[in-house]
Structure 1
């Protein structure tokens, strides 16, 4: 029998017939469950955003964004809370970012695998799972009372540093692990020093993941309230002079989430939903910024 005859005698199997013939009822149920879960997640997100927008959109105005709450003047504003939020974000990330990236570089590039590295990684995992209110209690006792900082923005920022450090460290570690070992071997083979190789090759290659971790940490700071209730206070006044602005770091300051909580506790639901709208916009901008910066600093997609 010739080769041509053998080929002609073989049955022709159409593409997809194997999978179609083996599709079982459990597979169909699994597909239905997957698509139903995805649809439910999307609908839940759209429902929450829509409900908050409907309830809080009427409160959004220029005076609401640029004024402060005053009983005497009968005004409602969140400008002071926005400033306090930005203040805490900047202070926290100025401290947490270099420490977190430095710790991740040490653990991934310098430290030899062993009990010490395992203990440090285990400690970061434990820190990331501790409830935020416990961080607030510790911050109030240690930073507020032991170090005599009392209720102030600095106390809140130092407490948040402890909360976001595990997030920055773990994201930086995972970003560094994605860099191929051939980059390291090639750089060392060319005679470069280890720090020069880390600074010029590894960190730029891992930058998208590092930026993602930093911005996720900012997102956690924006949404935090429990820890700041015990440490930063709730004052929402705007500084008038430059000296007051500089001294604000040692003064009480309530963030947007603190003001939202206080408004809800006082029954001011329209104000609370107005603040919720601002927080949703901030979260949306943070996610957009994450994608933009990750794409901008991705060395693999640069032209």
Structure 2
């Protein structure tokens, strides 16, 4: 009986894994099919290159695209340097004591905080306390804080995969600790670091709740890109068209087109991450 149970255990485990994976893929396929079939007819060069007009009932999504790109760039500027430096310090310099373990646990806990909490924190700190106002700068700083725990965690995991013998070999030939990290450890961990960074930024590009409080606007018929002004972004634009617009049925095709553009943007960013990992793995071989 015990032998039969041991034989059935892996079958049940694999069956459960395949079933849950199949369900997730099925629902993902249904959602993508619905968005693509209803949004493809709207997607065109005019839709991408024109500004929204007539209260977002006409025109395109140029303003939300520019706002999303600028927001992602600001998020990268504010989160990548600090995240990578923090991960290098924790993994390479900090001692393994209770303080370091507490910091790591806090960073991992911050990764699980709902994004709307970051939005409220950004509203209190950047918009009100620092008097930056509702602007793309406030939203970028807020998303930078949201992305920081993920970048720290993924970077530290990439550094942990580098064997200790690699560091010892660099030190043995006369390199300093800083030089061994800069010239040996970081280049070896670069594929994992870049993959984590790109995936984190793609997630930040699709966030709605943090920018809802810090600078996203319902409708702007311009694309100035000023750092101290409100902006339009694809996720918030989609949210407003789908739930808050006074003529939801009229703008439904535009909403599906916006959803398709956002999916394409996020897909391209994820594809970039996979390409980076593949390229560096191929070079290592």
Q: TM-score, normalised by structure 2?
A: 0.90
Distance in 1 (alpha carbons) for counterparts of 2:170 and 2:49: 52
- The aligned counterpart of 2:232 is 254
Task: Work out the CA distance in 2 between the residues paired with 1:94 and 1:142.
Answer: 19
2:112 counterpart of 1:129: yes
Task: Report the TM-score, using the length of structure 1 for normalisation.
Answer: 0.85
On the 8 A contact 1:53/1:277 being kept in 2, the answer is: yes
> Quick one: which of 113, 116, 123 aligns to 2:96?
113
What's 1:302 paired with? 284
Q: 2:160 aligns with which of 157, 177, 180?
A: 177
Contact 2:166/2:184, CA 8 A, preserved across alignment: yes
Q: Secondary structure of the equivalent of 1:279?
A: helix
Equivalence for 1:168: 151
The structure with more radius of gyration: 1
C-alpha distance in structure 2 between counterparts of 1:284 and 1:70, whole Å: 27
User: Counterpart of 2:222?
Assistant: 238
1:1-303 to structure 2, matched below 5 A, reads 28-71=11-54, 75-234=58-217, 235-239=219-223, 244-245=224-225, 248-265=226-243, 266=245, 267=248, 268-298=251-281, 301-302=283-284
Equivalents in 2 of 1:211, 1:261: separation in Å?
A: 30
Higher relative contact order (CA 8 A, sep 6+): 2
Asked if the contact 2:53/2:221 (under 8 Å) is kept, the reply is no
Displacement over 6 Å in runs of 4+? none
The superposition leaves residues 246-285 of structure 1 with CA deviations (integer Å, 9 ceiling, x where unpaired) of xx11110121001001101211322211111111112221
**For residues 135 and 25 of structure 1, what CA distance do their matches in structure 2 show?**
46
Q: Cα deviations across residues 11-63 of structure 1 (Å, max 9, x unaligned)?
A: xxxxxxxxxx9985665554443333332232222211111111211211222
Q: Against the structure 1 CA distance between its residues 167 and 31, is the aligned structure 2 distance closer, same or farther, given a 3 Å change threshold?
A: closer
Aligned residues: 277
> Could you say if the C-alpha distance between residues 24 and 260 of structure 1 is closer, same or farther in structure 2, counting changes exceeding 3 Å?
same
Q: 1:101 to 1:40 in 2, by over 3 A?
A: same
Gaps of 5+ in 2: none
Query: Secondary structure, in 3 states, of the residue corresponding to 2:284?
Result: coil
